[in-house]
Amino acid sequence: MNYRIMTEQDLEYVVTKNIEYYNTVEDCCWTYEKAYKRIHQVLTMEDSMCLVQTDDRDVITGYLMGYFKEFDDIRGYFLEEIVIFKGFQGKGYGTDFLKNLEQEVKKNGASIIELNSVNDDMHKQFYSKLSFYEVKNFVMMGKFLGED
C-alpha cells in the first residue's frame, strides 16, 4: 500500500466513495454537499493531516482525516475518521493504514492518537488489536437541541 497527503484534487473521488460506503454499508443518507463539506472542513483546518491510501495501481482504497492538537505537556493527533472503501475491506488495509498513521504522527512530534469510536464489539476489537484502549477519565457528552 502507498500513502500520501490528501489534496483538494482528491476530494471529488473521496467524497463519492465515502457516500457509496456509508449509504450502502452503514445505511446512512449522506448527500454530496454534506459529505464534501465535512471532509473539506477537516482537510482545510489548521494543523490537519489527511491521508489517502492507494494500491499499486494508484487507486484510492481509503482515507483518514484528523488534526494535531496542542496541550501544555504533549502534542496529540485526533483521528476524526478512517474509511476503507467498499470492496477493499477485510484485507488488512485499515490495520496497515493506522500503522502508517502512527509513524507519520510520531514524525510530526505527536505522542498520542485520540479518536472517538462506535461503541460496538467490531470497532473495539479492531482498535484494541492495534493497542488502542478505552479512556476511563473522559466521557463523550452531547446534547440534541430541540425546538422550544
Long-range contacts at 19-28 (CB < 8 A, ≥ 24 apart): 20/85, 20/86, 21/83, 21/85, 21/86, 22/83, 24/86, 25/86
- Is the pLDDT at 147 greater than 80? The verdict is no
How confident is the model at residue 70, as a pLDDT? Answer: 95
pLDDT, tens digit, for every residue of 30-76? 999 999 999 999 999 999 999 999 999 999 999 999 999 999 999 99
- Is the pLDDT at 84 greater than 70? The verdict is yes
The residue extents of the domains of the chain are 2-128
Say how far apart CA 112 and CA 90 lie, in whole Å. 26
How confident is the model at residue 146, as a pLDDT? Answer: 82
- Model-level pTM greater than 0.75? yes
- Is the pLDDT at 87 greater than 70? The verdict is yes
Q: What is the CATH number of domain 2-128?
A: 3.40.630.30
- Is the pLDDT at 148 greater than 70? The verdict is no
Residue 145: exposure state from Cβ atoms within 10 A (0-12, 13-18, ≥19): exposed
DSSP string, 89-128: TTSSHHHHHHHHHHHHHHHTT--EEEE---SSHHHHHHHH
- Is the pLDDT at 109 greater than 90? The verdict is yes
pLDDT, tens digit, for every residue of 7-20? 999 999 999 999 99
Count CA atoms closer than 13 A to 97's CA, side-chain side. 29
